[in-house]
Structure 1
Amino acid sequence: MNAPDRHLPLADFVDRAWDERIVPALTDYIAVPAKSPMFDADWQAHGHIERVVQDAVAWVESRRVPGLAIEIVRIPGRTPVIFFEVAATGAATDTVLFYGHLDKQPEFSGWRNDLGPWTPKYVDGLLYGRGGADDGYAIYAAVTAIEALKAQGTAHPRCVGVIETCEESGSHDLPAYLDALKPRLGEVGLVVCLDSGAGNYDQLWLTTSLRGMVSGVLKVEILTEGIHSGDASGLVPSSFRILRQVLDRLEDARTGQLLPEFFHCEVPASRVAQAQATAAILGDDVWKRMPWVCGADGNLALPTTTDPVEGLLNRTWRPTLSVTGVDGFPELKSAGNVLRPYTAFKLSLRLPPLVDGHEASIRLKALLEDNAPYNARVSFVPDGRAGALGASGWNAPELPVWLEDALNAASNTHFGAPVGYIGQGGTIPLMSMLQAGFPKAQMMVCGVLGPKSNAHGPNEFLHVPYAKRLTAAVAQVVAAFR
């Protein structure tokens, strides 16, 4: 690896911008509990989303970037979107579209005693708190990248930005905004999505695929009210046991493998080859980076596989079920000898990139609800207004030579190492929407969610040194757009 040149004018500009302007702005942003509508039904009354949107727009306006116009776009009854645009100064005729979001996941538990979701703290280059890395930084980094090019007198294409505020709720408002903004977006030739992750903090990482998702609440009801367990158990079947039987239709509890073939797809040979190359870079860090508990024998808990290639494919191209919440259970301190009337689980089913989210949602509902054991009442209710549609994943188009060269050049310049390619297990509904709406567009999907950054969980942090390099690399790729 070569030593990166961090004394280039572009890098110097970006470094100063982060230190002087972006970190303070993100510190204020983290302090605002701008939870996504799925987690804050009264988001309009609370005003937190409005606050972070107004703050971001005011920050951009304060930069007075030549030719850049910004506004808040509103559709009644929907979360707001920020739209910005700046005219081209170079020869490229197509448009670069920047994407990010400002809504956040809820607090979750387990934060260190000196940290909290809404109490930002900047320590040793890490900015802790909810939402800074996922992905409140996006609008600040995107505008800074454009501003840096202008400051260096470097020509750039026309750029537009769409910053939404319901991504963590499945982006259910975004299609309406994309339709409304389509005449203003122009002919999009490159999408720069800043809502993804990185395999390490040592090079630029390009996301090559994203999983889809179906999420919702599975509820099993057997009684109308709780009754004495000594009187009823053995006669009344446990709602929890019934729920286990229903889930056994979907998942092998021993291996975690999803049983219905529909939820699987064949992994393209090119993605297997990329996983092998990425595994050679990351090695056992693929699984060792997780916060494993120490077992009763003193050894750390183990992953589903210690093979780095299989680990990468498991988390990016194979379906997986997670239970992310429960209802119907009293707290342990209040748990008496009562047979509970119902059990409810919040399910998160991650889908391979090539499995259709709409069809998966329909099939999952039928699989879970049909032929209920003991004639219990079993229901699966997908999340959100568009939840019944599911969210389809995304597989990146093949890179043209110019973009592959530009990515490598930017990574070598600002990191001293070539670009890495990695699939991501998360879901960004926008990507499949944009791929369908702009089938000729190339996709630069990247982000700052590297090892231990822990978006959605406790102790989330933004790795500021990496974010600086990423911002400069993005600017360099945008300048190379053709």
Structure 2
Amino acid sequence: MSLNIEQVKEFSNKTWEESIIPTLSKYIEIPNQSPQYDPEWATNGLTEKAVELLNNWVLEQNVKGLKSEIKKIEGISPIIFITVESTKTENSKTVFLYGHMDKQPPLTSEWAEGLHPYKAVIKDGKLYGRGGADDGYSIFASVMAIKALQEQNISHDRYVIVIEGSEESGSIHLTQYIDKYQEEIGTPSLIVCLDSGCGNYEQLWMTSSLRGVLSGDLTVKVLDEACHSGSASGIVPSSFRILRQVIDRLENQITGEVDKRLHVEIPSYRIDQAKKCAEVLGDFYKSYSWHGNTQPITTDPAELLLNKTWRPTVCTTGVDGIPHISNAGNVMRTQTTVQLSIRLPPSLTVDVASKALKEILESNPPYGAEVIFNIVDVAAGWDAPAVKPWLEKALGEASQNFFNKPHVYTGEGGSIPFMGMLGEKFPEAQFVITGLLGPQSNAHGPNEFLHIDFGKKLLSCVVYLLDAHAKYA
């Protein structure tokens, strides 16, 4: 039986308005932070409240053959584990759909007037609030895509949906669940992740790669006791000056170029995709909230996209050992520590990166000072496997049917740690990585929003892709 495109559109519009938005709004208003950011996550009941809200909604949809459970392992965050039986009489395969329900910290004081991270507000076609687009909507879109097929009596594959609770903490708890329930998951031939982004709200976007990330604390220590700056300066080298020298080994302070040991050769087809994406987006860098006359690193959109998706970059995300200026005395401090977040090319392994970074930052310290780089967290990057003809055709048709524009491939500068793990476990699987995080949607930042109309069309595209997989994969 053929999928009725107009019925899919009607279903998506109706279910978003009548079911998804009301329940997603309730979810937004639960301040359940990811374990890394909330030391009381296991005892304050917020994670449980969010999980129960979502799981109850799933059960209320009366999807044929669906079983949904809250799985718990002692000491780690729970997951929602959903299975839907196949309705095909032969050649049934498994599709794995993934999302998460934990949230980043609120950044309460920075939100615009009338907006709040834990207050769902609809304004100008956008649903504001923490965790809606990143990534609370994913469970709704996954379940409703299956329901849409059933409402048209379309035969479908077996589905496994996993909604985890530690993605924003690097998916630190998820591997244990995947290992424990490996047999129930099976071997997926298609993996759908709805936790990524889009370059605009006008067509279907496919994430082709994800950068890895390595974060660590870089400390320079020169004294055991602080000294009066009048007596020590000019004799004792400043820990901050040494820190600047050490970081400059890693990242050229003039050009921003990172040490060649952290680079990889970018595949030619990824360069071609970046150029095509640049043609679609144009001067996309203008959408950033630039201060004053600040300029981008370059005005070449294709180069900016390659910088963001395939080249290593360094951000200083925190500092310790420096007092606030309101109580900073004329003192030569004993040490300075900064937290570095280093984005890694998709195909660079974290082992190679870790070894290189330790060597770059710690070897031959200036003046013999103590320089230590303590690696705190790592997440591998990911480069998507080649897209099979049936999926390439389905992506193009889905984008044309629901957006009237072709689909676009782009890499993402961030990481989804789980994707690399899935790629290793299921090397034969096809991947559809997409999402709602588009221009100015501000995931992790103030005024995070979900573009409602885009969400409706994206749900429709997922329906189409699931149908195509059942028929042609």
* Distance (whole Å) between structure 2 residues aligned to residue 169 and residue 226 of structure 1: 36
Letter in 1 for 2:161: G
1:171 pairs with 2:159: no
* Distance (whole Å) between structure 1 residues aligned to residue 235 and residue 10 of structure 2: 73
Deviation at 1:227, TM superposition (A): 4.0
8 Å contact 2:5–2:401 — kept in the other structure? no
Q: Secondary structure at the match of 1:188?
A: coil
Provide the TM-score with structure 1 as the length reference: 0.93
Q: 1:449 aligns with which of 406, 424, 437?
A: 437
Instruction: Quote the residue 1:365 is aligned against.
Output: 358
Instruction: Quote the residue 1:402 is aligned against.
Output: 390
8 Å contact 1:358–1:392 — kept in the other structure? no
Letter in 2 for 1:422: T
Letter in 1 for 2:177: Y
Q: Deviations over 1:378-435 (max 9, x none)?
A: 222222xxx3xx2221111111111011111111111111111111111011111111
Are residues 248 and 183 of structure 1, via their aligned partners in 2, closer, same or farther at CA, if it must alter by over 3 Å? same
Q: Secondary structure at the match of 2:43?
A: helix
Q: Secondary structure at the match of 2:95?
A: strand
Q: Deviations over 1:207-249 (max 9, x none)?
A: 1111111112222233345443334333332222121111112
Q: Secondary structure at the match of 1:46?
A: coil
Instruction: Quote the residue 1:3 is aligned against.
Output: none
* Distance (whole Å) between structure 1 residues aligned to residue 78 and residue 116 of structure 2: 27
Instruction: Quote the residue 1:337 is aligned against.
Output: 330
Instruction: Quote the residue 2:368 is aligned against.
Output: 375
1:89 pairs with 2:84: no
1:466 pairs with 2:465: no
Letter in 1 for 2:253: A
- What pairs up with 1:272-311 in 2 under 5 angstroms? 272-285=271-284, 287-295=285-293, 301-311=294-304
Letter in 1 for 2:308: R
8 Å contact 1:107–1:130 — kept in the other structure? yes
Letter in 2 for 1:133: A
- Number of residue pairs the alignment of both structures matches: 465
Deviation at 1:443, TM superposition (A): 0.1
* Distance (whole Å) between structure 2 residues aligned to residue 145 and residue 92 of structure 1: 20
Instruction: Quote the residue 1:75 is aligned against.
Output: 73
Instruction: Quote the residue 1:477 is aligned against.
Output: 465
Q: 2:11 aligns with which of 4, 9, 13?
A: 13
Instruction: Quote the residue 2:265 is aligned against.
Output: 266
Deviation at 1:104, TM superposition (A): 1.5
Q: Secondary structure at the match of 2:338?
A: strand
- What pairs up with 1:38-437 in 2 under 5 angstroms? 38-90=36-88, 91-108=90-107, 110-259=110-259, 261-285=260-284, 287-295=285-293, 301-383=294-376, 387=377, 390-437=378-425
- Greater CA drift, 220-229 or 417-426: 220-229
Q: List, as ranges, runs of 4+ consecutive aligned residues in structure 1 with deviation greater than 6 Å.
A: none
8 Å contact 1:218–1:347 — kept in the other structure? yes
8 Å contact 1:94–1:186 — kept in the other structure? no
* Distance (whole Å) between structure 1 residues aligned to residue 445 and residue 38 of structure 2: 17
Deviation at 1:46, TM superposition (A): 2.5
* Distance (whole Å) between structure 2 residues aligned to residue 223 and residue 132 of structure 1: 48
Are residues 130 and 219 of structure 1, via their aligned partners in 2, closer, same or farther at CA, if it must alter by over 3 Å? farther
Deviation at 1:469, TM superposition (A): 0.6
8 Å contact 2:441–2:450 — kept in the other structure? yes
* Distance (whole Å) between structure 2 residues aligned to residue 52 and residue 382 of structure 1: 32
- Greater CA drift, 120-129 or 427-436: 120-129
8 Å contact 1:211–1:352 — kept in the other structure? yes
Identity, in percent, stands at 49
Deviation at 1:157, TM superposition (A): 1.0
Instruction: Quote the residue 1:25 is aligned against.
Output: 23
Q: Deviations over 1:292-321 (max 9, x none)?
A: 1113xxxxx211111111111110010101
RMSD of aligned residue pairs (Cα, Å): 1.7
* Distance (whole Å) between structure 2 residues aligned to residue 381 and residue 33 of structure 1: 31
Letter in 2 for 1:95: T
- Greater CA drift, 244-253 or 332-341: 332-341
Q: Secondary structure at the match of 1:144?
A: helix
Deviation at 1:68, TM superposition (A): 0.7
Letter in 2 for 1:72: I
8 Å contact 2:262–2:356 — kept in the other structure? no
Are residues 8 and 356 of structure 1, via their aligned partners in 2, closer, same or farther at CA, if it must alter by over 3 Å? same
1:35 pairs with 2:23: no
Structure 1 alignment gaps of length 5 or more? 1-5, 296-300
Are residues 357 and 86 of structure 1, via their aligned partners in 2, closer, same or farther at CA, if it must alter by over 3 Å? same
Letter in 2 for 1:333: S
Provide the TM-score with structure 2 as the length reference: 0.94
Deviation at 1:335, TM superposition (A): 2.9
Letter in 2 for 1:269: S
* Distance (whole Å) between structure 2 residues aligned to residue 361 and residue 111 of structure 1: 36
8 Å contact 2:219–2:335 — kept in the other structure? yes
Structure 2 alignment gaps of length 5 or more? none
Q: Secondary structure at the match of 2:213?
A: strand
Deviation at 1:365, TM superposition (A): 2.6
Are residues 46 and 416 of structure 1, via their aligned partners in 2, closer, same or farther at CA, if it must alter by over 3 Å? same
Deviation at 1:19, TM superposition (A): 1.2
8 Å contact 1:68–1:87 — kept in the other structure? yes
- Greater CA drift, 359-368 or 206-215: 359-368
Are residues 168 and 288 of structure 1, via their aligned partners in 2, closer, same or farther at CA, if it must alter by over 3 Å? same
Deviation at 1:162, TM superposition (A): 1.2
Letter in 2 for 1:403: L
Are residues 107 and 370 of structure 1, via their aligned partners in 2, closer, same or farther at CA, if it must alter by over 3 Å? farther
